[in-house]
Structure 1
Amino acid sequence: MEADTALFDVLKGLDGEPGERAGFVYHSASEMLATVADGRGNVNVSPISLWLALALVAQGSQGRTLEQLTDTLGIHGLSENQYRTLVESINQRPPGVKSVMSVHDSVWISATLTPHISFIDEVRHAFAAEVNSIDFSDPNAGKSISFWISKHTRGLLQPAIECNGTELLSIISTVFADSRWKDPFEINDTTPAVFHGDQGDATVPFMHQRCEDVPYLCDETFGWERVDIPFDDDSELRIVLPDPGTLETLVHDPIALRRAFSTELAETIPQEDKQELTGMDRLKAKLAARKNPASMPIYANIVTAKVALPRFEIDSAINARTLVSILRSLGITDAFDPTHADFSGICEGALAISGIMQGTHIEVNEHGARAAVYTGIAVAGAAPQWGPEITFTVDRPFMYALMTRDRLPLFVGAVRNL
């Protein structure tokens, strides 16, 4: 099933003029990649899960609260059917494949609260959300929510959710992916090699495969190259390898981040049509492209890539204070302010978002990529390579995006050290 084009443009950051904005998904991804990291500097986030949770809560907002959520999320005029189509497009499993992707939403309502039937009907229809009544003062309330998260992430995430009894409403969005390579890496081909992290070198297992007929993209403006490795359901893992020392530049620039991950092969220029620039001409072109990225093309070929990719595994957690600060910087402020929040579409009485958090897990190995997330709301390198066969060795800090079949960035991450 294909989701609505307008909705996809919102999630891909393409609902404005090309090159002018990155949209919520890549803006929030940039903020999270730059702010959140484990002890090694690695981070894995799901901007789609965050968008879904906020879009769900927006269904019960009114006034300026609704305006801020609508403007920041880019959800002007989206219908219930469009949200539902998005969820179904992610959850659909083509016949004969091993890969699985699924998104699930739930609304937990205090037994003391009487929600509007219209809100309940809307979130059930638009998001296929489960609606549960719960006593937040019950010592087992947090365990019930934790169990629900564990169930819908196949046990990859088992957070210790704690409720203090003051909550009236909790919204949980989970995303799970068990994506299997179209052509698995052979375990016998995995060998130790050195990864040159920004905190020093480390010897780690590197997987090796000769990937045939895969897209290879090169952006000389921002200094990166990318290979897209397919899964068996036509989704893919996009590996972006920045020039040495330039990863942070990409991470902190939402437009550059969107350019690196969302550029499709049809938008590029074939290598044989490339005009070589040298000296001052090349410098002038790159400086001009920084102001207007669309003026500097991305070149691409379909190649056979001899890929060397390290195994990696990342657990990330974004606490409420950090995530609220990020969302405030993006323009969502009233929703967290008890004196200004307007969620009268949910129920009568004062409601405000008291907390929002996200936890994720991803592991990439010879079989594929397994990843899960929950979002909770409580009220100059190596020269580019061209030709029929290239070598793509991921032995320095890199970024990745696990893309859906419809090329939405379900998970985005940065690996700085292994």
Structure 2
Amino acid sequence: MKYLSFLPFICLTYLVSCAQVSQIPNDILPNVRTLDQNEIRLVNSSSEFAMEMFREIEKSEDGNYFFSPYSIHQALSMAMNGNEGEVLEEFLKVLHFEGLDLGKANDANKGLTEFLKNVDPKVAINIANAIWYRQGLSVQPPFMTTMENYYGANVDALDFNQPNSHQVINNWIERETRGLIKNMLDGIPNEAIMYLVNAIHFKGDWKTPFDASKTTKQNFYPEKSPSTQVDMMSTGGKIKVNYFQSGQLQYLELPYSTGQYNMGIVYHSGGNLSELMPEINFENIQSWHQQSSENEMIVEMPKFKMEYKVENLKQHLMDLGLKKAFEPSPKNFTKLFEDPLMDMYISRVIHQAMIEVDEKGTEAAAATVVEVGVTSMPVIPTFIRLDKPFLFFIQEKHSGTILFMGKMENPNLK
């Protein structure tokens, strides 16, 4: 079932390339428009990043997994805007923004996100961003304006010292993912100063639903473990799907609603999916799609529900080349806050996703949290009692001139 990890970026690639849809149900037409050159570059950037993230996760996982490369790409794109110089260049390279400067990348993100949200009236899709920062700090106005205008993100102060402050973020994620992603954060560490969060939710019915009365218990044969019984769905009769085959490679597209979104599937007819892994790249996915043609066939596939969480994508992203942002440095996030802080860095990138596939369709959701921290953050107490000896002085504020200075050892002494 590893092949299902391709869903997020395959849907993205195909909805952009498919401009003609046949047999639209109920005469509802997709809202297709021509993408501008920067949006097309962003599609390629996001898809290349998706393939690299897939390969990184595949190295460390031996079972099922599911993630949203688009969500991770969005969250890191927001974080990118807090940087300049060589740190910014590293973000642009890792996110594959070839041919795009920061301004064009932001503009393309805005346009493509709106396109994805509105292209299919029969698919419910939500893509949302939000940012919280530690109360008492001041965010630079240009960064705040960019986040609001291009990413639709509210940038809000939050008292991170409150015990349940992380629930504000959790509640937002749960709401934006329609209750599917819960309790991503279990707390906020002292060094955290900002959270940049993306949430995405998708719900679409199959263009031709599976026949629930045809779902039966059947064997499923994992590559590295014994066979197991699953609820195997069946279309019952033949349905129209895009299909391509080359040797034991089988490529299939199952459309949702108007056909603008689909589930792409890469399958090895002999069960040796690992043999295909070297062939999985953006160019081949595009090629298989282009070579596929509409065929009528009976389709059977298992019902399933999958949840997956990565507590920190740090090592995966560093292996892809995003290194400077994870290393505390005065060069990091120089465009975030008004007042200089201690060395800032990305302390965590948390990602969580889930998907459920049944006879009617598919519901999927994901969220990505980028946590920015500092090496040392002064803790502002809400209560203080000076019940031990202390030094004191009187100074002039503007110049800093000290006029008086002393030590209080014992208030009872004169």
Inter-CA distance 211–53: structure 2 relative to 1 (3 Å threshold): farther
- CA distance in 2 between partners of 1:140 and 1:307 (Å): 48
For 2:336, the equivalent position in structure 1 comes to: 346
- Residue 371 of structure 2 aligns with an amino acid whose one-letter code is A
Deviations 1:116-163 (A, max 9, x none): 000000011111112221111111111111100100000011124111
Deviation per CA, 1:203-231: give whole Å up to 9, x if none. Answer: 111111135332101234xx411111110
1: distance between equivalents of 2:131 and 2:45? 27
Measure the CA separation in 2 of the matches of 1:194 and 1:9.
43
Is 1:196 aligned to 2:221, yes or no? yes
1:64 to 83, 86, 96: 86
Q: Could you say which structure has the greater relative contact order, defined with CA pairs below 8 angstroms and 6 or more residues apart?
A: 1
Partner of 1:325: 315
In the alignment, structure 2 segments of 5+ residues that lack a partner are 1-31, 373-414
Q: CA deviation at 1:105?
A: 0.8
Letter of the 1:129 partner, please give it. Answer: A
**Do residues 4 (structure 1) and 36 (structure 2) align?**
yes
CA contact (8 A) 1:137 1:166 kept: no
Q: Deviations over 1:228-267 (max 9, x none)?
A: 111004210112112435422444x4x62324533364x3
State the 1:81 CA deviation.
2.3
Structure 2 residue aligned with 1:396? none
Structure 1 residue 80 corresponds to structure 2 residue 106: yes
Which of 53, 73, 77 does residue 55 from structure 1 map onto?
Answer: 77
Aligned to 1:214: 241
- The amino acid across from 1:189 in the alignment is K
Give the 3-state SS of the residue equivalent to 1:354 in structure 2.
Answer: strand
Q: Contact conserved, 1:138 with 1:165, CA < 8 A, in 2?
A: no
CA contact (8 A) 1:93 1:100 kept: no
Residue in 1 that maps onto 2:67: 45
Letter aligned with residue 352 of structure 1 = Y
**1:274 corresponds to:** none
Residue in structure 2 matched with residue 165 of structure 1 by the alignment: 190
Distance 1:302 1:84 in 2: 33
Where does residue 256 of structure 1 map in the other structure?
280
- Is 2:54 the counterpart of 1:29? yes
**CA root-mean-square deviation:** 2.1
Residues 1:307 and 2:268 aligned together: no
SS in structure 2 opposite 1:118?
helix
TM-score by length of 2: 0.75
Larger Rg: 2
* Alignment of structure 1 residues 11-410 onto 2, 5 Å: 11-12=43-44, 23-36=48-61, 41-75=63-97, 76-77=100-101, 78-92=104-118, 94-95=120-121, 97=122, 99-161=123-185, 162-198=187-223, 199-209=225-235, 210-220=237-247, 223-233=248-258, 234-251=260-277, 253=278, 256-263=280-287, 265=289, 267-268=290-291, 300-320=292-312, 323-339=313-329, 341-347=331-337, 348-349=340-341, 350-379=343-372
Question: What is the rounded CA distance, in whole Å, between the counterparts of 1:160 and 1:105 in structure 2?
Answer: 15
Q: 1:357 to 1:303 in 2, by over 3 A?
A: same
- Structure 1 position 71, deviation (Å): 0.8
Separation in 2 of the partners of 1:145 and 1:262?
A: 37
Please tell me the residue identity of whatever aligns with 1:136.
F
**Counterpart code for 2:357:** V
| Deviation digits for residues 98-122 of structure 1 (CA, Å, limit 9, x no counterpart) | x211111111111121110000000
Instruction: Output one character per residue of 1:327-350: Cα deviation in whole Å (capped at 9) or x when no partner.
Output: 011110000111265211112333
TM-score by length of 1: 0.74
Q: In structure 1, what is the Cα distance between the partners aligned to 2:69 and 2:322?
A: 15
Change (3 A) 1:260 1:316: farther
SS of the residue aligned with 2:359? coil
The amino acid that maps onto 2:220 is F
Structure 1: tracts of 5 or more residues without a match: 15-21, 269-299, 380-418
SS at match of 1:200: coil
Q: How many residues in Structure 1 have an aligned counterpart in Structure 2?
A: 329
Partner secondary structure for residue 168 of structure 1:
strand
| Identity of matched residues, % | 22
